[in-house]
Structure formats: structure tokens, C-alpha cells
Amino acid sequence: MQKLVIRGGTALEGEISLPGAKNSALPLLAASVLCKGETFFENCPRLTDVFSACRILTNIGCRCNMKGHTVSVCADSINLSEIPETLMQEMRSSIVFLGALLGRTGSCQVYYPGGCELGPRPIDLHLDALKRMGAKIRRHEGRLDCSAPEGLCGCCIHLKFPSVGATENIMLAAVLAKGETVICNAAREPEICDLADFLRKCGAHIKGDGESTLRIKGTKELHGCIHRIMPDRIAGVTYLSAAAITGGTIKLSGVKNAHMENVLPVLEQAGCRIDRSEDFIYLRSPKRLRSVSRLRTMPHPGFPTDVQAIIMSIMTLADGITVFEENIFESRYRHVDGLIQMGAEICVSGRTAVVSGVKKLYGAHAAATDLRGGAALVIAGLAAEGITEIRQIHHIDRGYEEIEKVLKGAGADIRRIS
Ligand code: EPZ
């Protein structure tokens, strides 16, 4: 069992270059199933979720190799369209292989995905949409037997919630379907645009990505290509926040500024000085951050749910009160206990968390409960007085590549011990 040991109190100084985005790499790897010939993904982060996706690809008969930060996939020899329960359970986004396999082979057996640490993770929107496109889906205990013997047909799909995963699944099912698919109330996250860019390079006809209405005209075949995965905007906010809470300065390179415009103003309201160029962000933080009165998580381009825990951790030391409203997931406050153990003053009631800034946090022994909650504990530990030990760090390794090395490179006193 590994843990992170952090001695807080050092102001971070230095430059961090952003890795590729986990939440783009995963649907892209699923999309490679649709392509004939070889596909290369550059700037792919080395994360446990990415290794799980590569195992799924290998399991269904693809050739999949990861060398450094480049993954090559060849799906020409797919010989199985069943994904074992153990692999499905390893992460939530395994469910997007469903749309890809149905689109490519016309049949697929999957199990309900894992990743329930944020509350129930239903897939009703995914399944309803695929059924509307002609898929037959039968449940046997936790297994889903899916088939589309006559192939999938494009249609108009109105999502009752702009689900990121459901939008991705429909895109992957629609690119080889007969006719046009229109997704109304589609997710608008940058990862959707990255997936659409990749699919267009492979020969797909997609319009409207990044907007609420997405149009996909089915085509006969897709071919492999070389695609550089977009930078990880959530990891970017994480590292900016690590500098902000420690009174440090940081240069974040390899960013796409536009992807972070729904969070940077929050850091500026908190007192950080931010200079931006096309591909880097320079943040100088004040001695003490100011609170930001209210933050509501919303679908993109609103304030992202994935940075809620991270921004909450910096607000625990800000001057004033910040009220958080988590509108995307049912229970995404599981990091609060760990922050309170470190001396934070947080009161949770339903979807609302009220954070009253304190002058000091103190090192404690805490456990990561989920990916971003774990990152929040690391950030708090960087500013806490004394030693913080964080257990269950496999959650953190799902979304951050060698987080301790990245932070140590900016001056943090942090190490991983077994
Ligand atoms: C993606 O999850 C991301 N994961 C999440 O990031 C992110 O928090 C989320 O989008 C929202 O931005 C990946 O991309 C791998 P949703 P996803 O479908 O697709 C409900 C991280 O920390 N819903 O947009 O699962 C659902 O319960 C992870 O990197 C249904 O009700 O998110 C939730 O309340 C965490 N029925 C809301 O929609 C469905 O069929 C948003 O879910 C699907 C979703």
C-alpha cells in the first residue's frame, strides 16, 4: 500500500508542463476501435485508467502499445466484442467502448462500469440513445448483451442532461451508422471537441462539437491517423491551485488557455495575479487568498465539477466564506472529512458546502476517497503546518501522472512511500 508524505509550508516556485488529458485519452482510445489501420495518440498521459483502457483494447483483439507518451492502436484484428466485468469495473469510462464496439462490429457484451465513488453513476442516457439508434440491449444480472444486427441508424436524440459520457458514446455509435444523428443538449466540454477533431481526421463528418447541437453524418469507413491529445485542464487547475495555496508562483506550459477560462477568473477573484499567453499561464499568488462568495458547478462552460474539491481546498485558508453548490454529482463532498481533519471549517448540507477560511491547516493522516478529492488533500497538505500522510493514493494515480514528482519539481516537500 503506497502513501504520500508531505511536509507543508513551502511556497511552490517553478514551471510545470501539462500532461495530456485523461478525460480525452479515454474516449479517444475507445474511438480507435472504429478505425481501419494504425492510429497513434501522442501526449497520452501514463495513468492507471489509460492502462486499463489499453487492456480492454488488447482483450478484444487490438494491437495496442504504449511507448513513453505515445500509444499506437491497430483494431484490424478485433476478434471479440465482450469486455470482462473485471476490466469494466476498473473505471467509469469503460462504458464508451459500448458505442464504439456496436458501431464497429454490430454486437457487444459489457458490464456496468465502475467508478461509483461520486454517487450513483447511471448509464440510462447512454442505453436509451443507443436503443433509439436501433440497438437491442438485454440485461443479464450486471451484464448487458447489445446487438444491432441491421447496423445502427442515425436519429435525433435529445439528452435530458448534457452528459459527457453519453455524448461521447452516441458520437462513437453514430460515425459509422446509416444516416445522420443529431444530438440535442449535447455536452460542450473541450474533451468532446478533441474527440470530434480526432474522428474528423479519421474521415468522420461531425459538426457543432462544443455547441449544444451536434450533427454526425454516418460514413462507410474510418481510417487511422496521428492525433495529439489535448492538455489536461483539470490537472492544470490542480497545479495552479498548489501554487495559489502556498503563496507561490508557477508557470504552467503546454496549456490551451481557452479550456480554463471558466476557472481562471475564480483564481483572480481570490487574489491571484494571472498572465496568459496562447500556451502558458503564469500565476503569482498573494500572501493570503480571498474567499469567493459562491461557486456552483455546472456543465461546460460553467464552473467544472472536477475542480470543486480542488478549489475548496484552497478556500479553506482564504479570508472569508465561500459557499459551494455541487449540481452535477450526488455525493462529491467525500474529501470534506479529510480537510476537516486538517483543521478546515466546512459545513455540508445536501448539495451545499460552506467553507469558512481559517488561518492555519495542520498536517494529518487522511485517506483519498476519489480522484479529485485525493488531489484536494494533497493541495491542503502542501500548505498545512507539519506532516500530512495520504493513503489510498491509487485514486490519485488514476488521473495524475507521478503527482509527487511534478510537485517536487516545483519545490514541494513530498514523497511517495510504500
Ligand atoms: C465525465 O464523467 C468525466 N469522466 C468526469 O470526470 C466529469 O466529472 C464528468 O464527465 C462531468 O464533467 C470522464 O470523462 C472519464 P456525465 P461522466 O455523464 O461522463 C448523470 C474526473 O474526475 N448521468 O456528464 O460519467 C450522472 O449521474 C471524472 O476526471 C445520468 O443520470 O459524467 C451525473 O450526475 C469524475 N445518466 C451527471 O449525469 C447517464 O446515463 C454527469 O455525468 C449518464 C450520466
The β-bridge partners of 295 are 324
Asked whether 23 and 233 are in contact (CB, 8 A), the reply is no
Residue by residue, DSSP assigns 30-75 as HHGGGEESEEEEES----HHHHHHHHHHHHTT-EEEEETTEEEEE-
Nearest to 157 by CA among 127, 137, 136, 178: 127
Q: What is the pLDDT of residue 114?
A: 66
- How far, in Å, is the centroid of ligand 1 from the Cα of 328? 8
Cβ < 6 A, ligand 1 pocket: 22-23, 26, 92-93, 121-126, 161, 163-166, 305-306, 328-329, 371-372, 399
CA distance 139 to 144: 5
Omega before residue 301 within 30° of 0, cis: yes
Asked whether 8 and 31 are in contact (CB, 8 A), the reply is no
List, in sequence order, the alpha helices (H) in 246-280. Answer: 264-269
* Marked catalytic residue, from 54, 62, 116, 202: 116
The β-bridge partners of 129 are none
List, in sequence order, the alpha helices (H) in 223-361. Answer: 233-245, 264-269, 308-315, 336-341
Nearest to 242 by CA among 416, 118, 411, 111: 411
Number of residues assigned to the chain? 418
Here the cell at position 349 is 448540507
CA distance 346 to 336: 7
Q: Which residue has the cell 503569482?
A: 284
Q: What is the pLDDT of residue 94?
A: 83
For the chain, what is the largest distance between any 2 Cα atoms, rounded to a whole number of angstroms?
64
- How far, in Å, is the centroid of ligand 1 from the Cα of 319? 32
Q: Tell me, yes or no, if 116 is annotated catalytic.
A: yes
List, in sequence order, the alpha helices (H) in 295-370. Answer: 308-315, 336-341
Q: Measuring from atom 6 of ligand 1, which residue has the nearest CA? A: 306
Q: Kindly tell me the sign of the dihedral angle through the C-alpha atoms of 256, 257, 262, 267.
A: positive
Residue in 164, 230, 303 to alter for ligand 1 test, most ligand atoms within 8 A of Cβ: 164
Here the cell at position 138 is 438485454
CA distance 369 to 381: 15
Q: What is the pLDDT of residue 210?
A: 97
- How far, in Å, is the centroid of ligand 1 from the Cα of 91? 12
Residue in 28, 116, 128, 163 to alter for ligand 1 test, most ligand atoms within 8 A of Cβ: 163
Q: Which residues of 283-299 are buried (b: 16+ CB within 10 A; e: fewer)?
A: bebeeebbbbeebbbeb
Q: What is the pLDDT of residue 284?
A: 98
What stretches of 220-300 adopt beta strand conformation (E)?
Answer: 222-223, 226-228, 249-253, 273-276, 280-284, 294-296
Q: What is the pLDDT of residue 115?
A: 60
Residue in 121, 125, 157, 195 to alter for ligand 1 test, most ligand atoms within 8 A of Cβ: 121
Residue 46, burial from CB neighbour count under 10 angstroms (0-12, 13-18, 19+): middle
Pairing of strands 321-325, 294-296: parallel
For the CA of 118, the closest atom of ligand 1 is 35
Q: What is the pLDDT of residue 188?
A: 98
Q: What is the pLDDT of residue 80?
A: 76
pLDDT in single tens digits along all 418 residues of the chain: 899 999 999 999 999 999 999 999 999 999 999 999 999 999 999 999 999 999 999 999 999 999 999 999 999 988 877 888 888 887 777 888 999 999 999 999 998 876 657 777 789 999 999 999 999 999 988 899 999 988 999 999 999 999 999 999 999 999 999 999 999 999 999 999 999 999 999 999 999 999 999 999 999 999 999 999 999 999 999 999 999 999 999 999 999 999 999 999 999 999 999 999 888 999 999 999 999 999 999 999 999 999 999 999 999 999 999 999 999 998 899 999 999 999 999 999 999 999 999 999 999 999 999 999 999 999 999 999 999 999 999 999 999 999 999 999 999 999 999 9
Residue 83 neighbours by CB distance under 10 Å: 24
Here the cell at position 262 is 471558466
Q: What's the distance, Cα to Cα, between the start and end of the chain in Å? A: 6
CA distance 372 to 164: 17
Asked whether 175 and 222 are in contact (CB, 8 A), the reply is yes
Residue 417, burial from CB neighbour count under 10 angstroms (0-12, 13-18, 19+): exposed
Q: What is the pLDDT of residue 116?
A: 52
How far is residue 330 CA from its own chain's centroid?
A: 17
3-class state of residue 284 by DSSP: strand
For the CA of 49, the closest atom of ligand 1 is 15
3-class state of residue 221 by DSSP: coil
Q: Which residues of 232-251 are buried (b: 16+ CB within 10 A; e: fewer)?
A: bbbbbbbbbbbbbbbbbbbb
pLDDT in tens, 144-184: 999 998 899 999 999 999 999 999 999 999 999 999 999 99
**Looking at residue 346, what DSSP letter applies?**
E
Backbone angles phi, psi at 305, to 5 degrees: -60, -30
